[in-house]
C-alpha cells in the first residue's frame, strides 16, 4: 500500500492505494512545520488520519507539504510520520515539488501554487532548478488566499471599501473589527483565517474595488515571481483553489503580461497518483 499526501496550511489531501484495491481519498487539517511543532504534527496525524486508515500495512508514504523546503522541517515531518506509521518508507518534500511533479510530470515547465499561500518554481522535468522565495503572507505570498484576505480586511478597516460592501461583509461574516484584529495578531494560523475570507471577494467579484484587489495581487504574483523564470520558453501551470476559482482573472493578467498558461488544477492529487504510478490500481 502507498500513501500520498498533498498538504497546505489549511488542509491535507491523502490518497491510499495498493495492488488490486480501489484508491481511498481522505482529508485532514493542514500540516505546516513552520507553524506547528513535531509533537503537534504527530498528534494531528494520530488523531485525524490514523482512525480513517485500514489495517493494511503501508509500505511507503510520499508527503508533499507547505513549509517542507528546509532539511530541519523535512526531518520534523518525517519523524512524526515514522513515529505514527512505523516500518514504512517515508519521503517528505515540499508542496512545490509535488505541484511540479503533478503539473509537469517529466517535462520542463513552470509550476505554481495559488492556495492559502502561493509559491512558484522552474522545473527541469526532474527537479526544481529555480525558486523565488514566497516569503509568507506578511512579506510575500502574492496572489494567495491569505493575501487576498489581508488586503480585503485592510481596506475594510481603513474605510477604503464602499459602505454597502463593508456592511455586507460584517453581516455575512459575523465579524467585528476587534475580532478581526484578535484573529490576525493574537490567534494561531492567521493565514488560514485570512484565506477563509477570500470567498467573500469571489462572491462579490462584480464590485470594482474587490476585483481590483484580485487583479493587483495576481499581477504582483506574476511580475514578482513567475517573470523571474524563463516564462517566454515554458508554459506556466497552476494548482490551488485560488488559481482554480479565479481562473478567468489569472488568465486575463497572464495574457496581458505575455505569459502562456498551461493547465490549471484545483488539486494536484490525481496527477500525483499518476506520477507515482498509482493509476494502475484504479
- C-alpha 141, offset from chain centre: 11
All cell numbers assigned to 85: 506509521
* Res 281: pLDDT: 39
Which value, in Å, is the radius of gyration of the alpha carbons in the chain?
A: 19
- pLDDT tens per residue across span 70-86: 899 999 999 999 988 88
Nearest 10 degrees: CA dihedral of 262, 264, 269, 270?
A: -70
The whole-number pLDDT of residue 22 equals 73
d(CA 189, CA 235): 33
* Average pLDDT of the chain, as a whole number: 90
Q: What is the reported pTM?
A: 0.81
Spatial contact of 99 and 111, defined as CB atoms under 8 Å apart: yes
211-269 pLDDT per residue, tens: 999 999 999 999 999 999 999 999 999 999 999 999 999 999 999 999 999 999 998 88
Residue 268's pLDDT is what?
87
Residue 23: predicted pLDDT: 80
Instruction: Give residue for cell 517515508.
Output: 90
d(CA 89, CA 81): 10
Across the range 56-69, mean pLDDT stands at 87
Amino acid at each position: 500500500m502507498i500513501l500520498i499526501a498533498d498538504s497546505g496550511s489549511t488542509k491535507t489531501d491523502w490518497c491510499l492505494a495498493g495492488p488490486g484495491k480501489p484508491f481511498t481519498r481522505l482529508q485532514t487539517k493542514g500540516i505546516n512545520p513552520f507553524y506547528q511543532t513535531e509533537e503537534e504534527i504527530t498528534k494531528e496525524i494520530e488523531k485525524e488520519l490514523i482512525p480513517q486508515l485500514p489495517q493494511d500495512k503501508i509500505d511507503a508514504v510520499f508527503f508533499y507539504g507547505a513549509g517542507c523546503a528546509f532539511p530541519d522541517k523535512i526531518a520534523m515531518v518525517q519523524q512524526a510520520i515514522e513515529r505514527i506509521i512505523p516500518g514504512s518508507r517515508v519521503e517528505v518534500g515540499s508542496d512545490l515539488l509535488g505541484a511540479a511533479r503533478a503539473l509537469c510530470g517529466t517535462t520542463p515547465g513552470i509550476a505554481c501554487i495559488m492556495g492559502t499561500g502561493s509559491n512558484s518554481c522552474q522545473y527541469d522535468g526532474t527537479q526544481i532548478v529555480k525558486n523565488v522565495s514566497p516569503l509568507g503572507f506578511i512579506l510575500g505570498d502574492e496572489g494567495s488566499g491569505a493575501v487576498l484576505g489581508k488586503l480585503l480586511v485592510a481596506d475594510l478597516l481603513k474605510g477604503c471599501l464602499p459602505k454597502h460592501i463593508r456592511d455586507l461583509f460584517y453581516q455575512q461574516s459575523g465579524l467585528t473589527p476587534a475580532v478581526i484584529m484578535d484573529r490576525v495578531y493574537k490567534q494561531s494560523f492567521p493565514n488560514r483565517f485570512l484565506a477563509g475570507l477570500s470567498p467573500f471577494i469571489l462572491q462579490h467579484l462584480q464590485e470594482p474595488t474587490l476585483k481590483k484587489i484580485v487583479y493587483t495581487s495576481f499581477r504582483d504574483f506574476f511580475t514578482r515571481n513567475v517573470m523571474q523564470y524563463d516564462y517566454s520558453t515554458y508554459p506556466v501551470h497552476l494548482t490551488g483553489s485560488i488559481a482554480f476559482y479565479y481562473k478567468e482573472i489569472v488568465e486575463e493578467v497572464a495574457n496581458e503580461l505575455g505569459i502562456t498558461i498551461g493547465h490549471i488544477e484545483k488539486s494536484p492529487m490525481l496527477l500525483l497518483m499518476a506520477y507515482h504510478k498509482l493509476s494502475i490500481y484504479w
